[in-house]
């Protein structure tokens, strides 16, 4: 059994895989060693693990994974099933690598644009030669709301409303929602349109916390894959399964 861990800016997600199939996933607001020990205790079949993080995480987690499994920490040196043409691979977020590997495992033909709409929105392009070319990064939905509140003297902090569709806000709250949500939708539609004009074989996949809202709000046909980062991590981990086995004794 494989355990994959995605440490993002806001949350931590884990997935348990067997033979390429996601059996169980969890989401944590914070992830501690005790959470990891519970995962191992409840799933003693875990042998192989991989961790991807966009920020520093407790060293004790890495030590535990190294001591109790065949552990891979995803980095720019890790072998992956796509070619990385990014000019600064050491500064490339490993979640972006994982997401394109997940997309490739599901769609092996044509070019793919992956939109991961979480704390940030990342756009990542994989061409039809299995080469990752890069993409772009912009603020995510909640970050846009927080920025308007934090960098102004009088604008309130309000929560996103997935049902809001007005273009012209008739109150300050509606004006903020229109600017944030309609602006984000138009940004995404515009970027997709630009890529579609350059790559005629393009498929568009969206994932991340804002996925459901985007799927119902965008006017462009896209496909949603909620566990794309976890899937990509498992794809990257799979070749390591035949390199080592780990005896599940003395874990606790």
Active site residues: 95
At CB < 8 A and 24+ separation, what contacts does 24-30 make?
Answer: 25/227, 25/230
Q: Yes or no: say if 113 and 124 are a contact pair by the CB < 8 Å rule.
A: yes
The DSSP annotation for 20-67 comes to TEEEEEEEESS--HHHHHHHHHH-TT--EEEEEESS---HHHHHHHHH
Going by their DSSP bridges, the two strands 223-224 and 202-207 should be labelled as parallel
Identify whether the C-beta of residue 203 lies closer than 8 Å to the C-beta of residue 113.
Answer: yes
Question: CB–CB of 44/251 below 8 Å?
Answer: yes
User: According to the 3-state scheme, what is the secondary structure of 214-236?
Assistant: HHHHCCCCCEECCCHHHHHHHHH
């Amino acid at each position: 059994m494989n355990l994959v861990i995605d440490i993002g800016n806001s949350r931590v997600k884990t997935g348990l895989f067997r033979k390429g199939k996601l059996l169980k996933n969890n989401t944590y607001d914070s992830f501690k060693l005790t959470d990891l020990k519970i995962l191992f205790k409840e799933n003693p079949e875990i042998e192989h693990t991989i961790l991807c993080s966009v920020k520093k995480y407790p060293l004790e987690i890495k030590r535990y994974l190294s001591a109790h499994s065949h552990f891979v920490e995803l980095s720019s040196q890790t072998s992956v099933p796509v070619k990385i043409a990014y000019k600064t691979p050491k500064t490339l977020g490993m979640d972006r690598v994982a997401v394109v590997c997940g997309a490739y495992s599901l769609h092996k033909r044509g070019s793919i644009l992956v939109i991961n709409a979480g704390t940030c929105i990342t756009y990542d392009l994989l061409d039809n030669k299995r080469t990752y070319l890069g993409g772009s990064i912009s603020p995510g939905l909640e970050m846009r709301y927080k920025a308007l509140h934090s960098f102004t003297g009088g604008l309130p902090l309000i929560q996103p409303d997935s049902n809001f569709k007005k273009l012209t806000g008739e109150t300050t709250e509606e004006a903020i929602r229109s600017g944030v949500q309609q602006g984000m939708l138009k940004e995404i539609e515009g970027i997709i349109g630009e890529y579609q004009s350059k790559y005629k074989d393009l498929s568009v996949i969206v994932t991340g916390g804002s996925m459901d809202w985007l799927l119902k709000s965008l006017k462009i046909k896209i496909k949603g894959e909620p566990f794309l980062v976890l899937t990509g991590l498992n794809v990257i981990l799979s070749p390591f399964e035949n390199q080592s086995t780990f005896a599940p004794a003395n874990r606790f």
